Amino acid sequence: MFTQKDRQTVDTIDSYARHLKAASLSDNTIASRESAAYMLNDYLAEYYSLNLTTEKLSEIKGFMLDDWHQTLNISPASRNLYVGNIKAFFGYLVQAGYLGKDPSEILKKTKVIRNDDEDDEGDRLAYSIDDAVALINVKLNPSVDARDRAIVATLLAGGFRASELCSLNVGTYRALKNGRLYVKRKGGAWKWVYLADYATEYIDAYLAQRPNAKDDEPLFLSNEGNRFSRSTLYQRLKKRQKFLHLETGVHITRHTFLTEINRRNSLTVTQKLGAHSNPQTTQIYINPTTDELRDAANSVSWGKKLGKEKVAVNE
């Protein structure tokens, strides 16, 4: 496959990317949809000698897209993301007049069934206080520890979503005012987001390694020197979580933040910090920790009473 630098620009994909930018979608969303389109373009070129340019669009058939879909040897959730991105791309092509009929209608998302024993269920729980502290402070690699600790501290200090954290620039942090950052949140709206004071120590320690960082540079750089993507963020965080035997996922940090805020404040305050228009949405994020669930199960009165007695064994 071609690399980002090698591949030639495709006019329809370029037009689509400009359309998404005009719609004020996040940089990460635009990059994800653009990448999926180029991935499909490369597949069509290799197997059907076609591409997604204006001249070749009418020759693309649904079975070709279905064949491409079958080659995606990834998790159902990731496959669904690609399908959604491609369907959105072709939907734009029809609306913009490039195509009369949408060949991506053949693509169907896979139903994702979550079982109680799946690891990713942890993404809907919350960490204990000790787990949160350990996740921030654990040191695994001296070359990136300062950055990774700053990332986790930031996630847990403001309830940031993955896309929001990845979109932060150095200048955004330097403009921190009264404990608030001006951040582009889910849906494209710019809002003030509170950042707990403790996180600044971790971020400052990381930026001390980048004394010449400019305001328009990403706040967090990948090992290759690029802006963090959501997948890169997930992988970096997963290393720390696995090392500590914790539930994996990025969104669990947002659940943890809002759960802890709600323990100590009103639902109104939690809703405000979560930037939710509906308190019912906020309540979804307020989750017990695994320790709390175990303690609750052990709190039943008969359990306590039985615990004081020896169980008779029938012979």
CATH number corresponding to 120-295: 1.10.443.10
**Could you tell me which of 201, 199, 232, 238 has the C-alpha nearest to residue 218?**
232
Q: What residue has token string 């993955």?
A: 162
Residues in CB range of 30: below 8 A, 6 or more apart: 17, 20, 21
Compute the distance between CA of residue 35 and CA of residue 41 in angstroms, rounded to an integer.
Answer: 10
Q: Give me the numbers of helices (H) and strands (E) for the chain, helices first please.
A: 15, 2
- Inter-axis angle of helices 145-158 and 230-243, nearest 10: 100
Structure tokens at 282: 């906020």
Rounded average pLDDT over 167-186:
91
Vertex 47, ends 43 and 51: CA angle to 5°? 55
Sign of CA dihedral 179, 189, 136, 261: positive
* Model confidence pLDDT, tens digit, residues 11-26: 999 999 999 988 887 7
Instruction: Please determine, for residue 204, whether its predicted confidence score (pLDDT) is greater than 70.
Output: yes
Rounded average pLDDT over 160-178:
93
Taking the CA atoms of residue 169, residue 170, residue 173 and residue 174 in that order, the dihedral angle to the nearest 10 degrees is -140
DSSP-assigned letter for residue 216: T
* Model confidence pLDDT, tens digit, residues 60-76: 999 999 999 989 887 78
Rounded average pLDDT over 183-187:
79
The mean of the pLDDT values for the chain is: 85
Instruction: Please determine, for residue 93, whether its predicted confidence score (pLDDT) is greater than 80.
Output: yes
Contact yes or no for 216/169 (Cβ under 8 A): yes
User: Phi/psi of residue 183, each to 5°?
Assistant: -125, 145
Compute the distance between CA of residue 168 and CA of residue 191 in angstroms, rounded to an integer.
Answer: 13
User: Phi/psi of residue 259, each to 5°?
Assistant: -65, -45
Structure tokens at 107: 């693509």
Confidence of residue 308 (pLDDT cuts 50, 70, 90): low
Q: Which CATH architecture has domain 11-106?
A: Orthogonal Bundle (1.10)
* Model confidence pLDDT, tens digit, residues 138-168: 999 999 999 999 999 999 999 999 999 999 9
Model pTM greater than 0.95?
no
Compute the distance between CA of residue 63 and CA of residue 69 in angstroms, rounded to an integer.
Answer: 10
Q: Parse the chain into domains and list their residue ranges.
A: 11-106, 120-295
pLDDT of residue 113: 53
Q: Where are the beta strands (DSSP E) in 142-224?
A: 180-184, 190-194
Rounded average pLDDT over 221-235:
93
Instruction: Please determine, for residue 6, whether its predicted confidence score (pLDDT) is greater than 60.
Output: no
191 SS3 class: strand
Taking the CA atoms of residue 221, residue 227, residue 233 and residue 236 in that order, the dihedral angle to the nearest 10 degrees is -30
